[in-house]
Amino acid sequence: MGLPVIVNNLFRIALKSILKNKLRSMLTSLLTLPLAFPGVVVGFMIIMLAGRQGLIGQLTQELGAGKLVFAYSMFGLFLGYLYFSIPRTIVTVMAAAEKMDTRLEEAARSLGASHWHVVPLMVPAFMMRQVFLKVAPGA
């Protein structure tokens, strides 16, 4: 299913069962913040931070670990992918989690199921997210 889906599922469990409403809305806003920035701005920020003359490279060189440059590597590309895909996954799966019938979850919990046993109820949201990634990968 992918790393963004797994990370989002962890956040969903934490948001739904542990955090209070104000903290939940603040954390959701923080996690979906990348949706507000255009890709060009984010790309420029990554180059400024992790490029050849970037802040991260200068800091690691000052600490004696050598100059760390990853903006132009597969790792930098992967971080950019995560930056853009995790917020979209969070929005999709949280909407499905809120529409999920709570009676099903309560019935599963009363039979001794943990949070992880309720995950199959979220499969339609995961499938929809995969379709959304294929149809509109940059959106």
pLDDT tens digit sequence for 40-76: 887 888 888 888 888 888 888 888 888 888 888 888 8
The pLDDT of residue 51 is 83
- Kindly state the DSSP code that residue 19 receives in the 8-state scheme: S
Q: Find the mean pLDDT for residues 101-105.
A: 78
pTM, two decimal places: 0.57
Sequence-ordered alpha helix ranges (H) in 55-137 = 55-62, 74-99, 102-110, 123-135
Q: Which of 84, 80, 115 is nearest to 97 (CA)?
A: 115
pLDDT tens digit sequence for 122-133: 777 777 777 766
Query: Could you give the number of structural domains in the chain?
Result: 1
Q: Find the mean pLDDT for residues 20-34.
A: 75
Range of the domain at 126: 3-135
What CATH number is attached to the domain comprising 14? Answer: 1.10.3720.10
The mean predicted confidence, pLDDT, of the chain is: 76
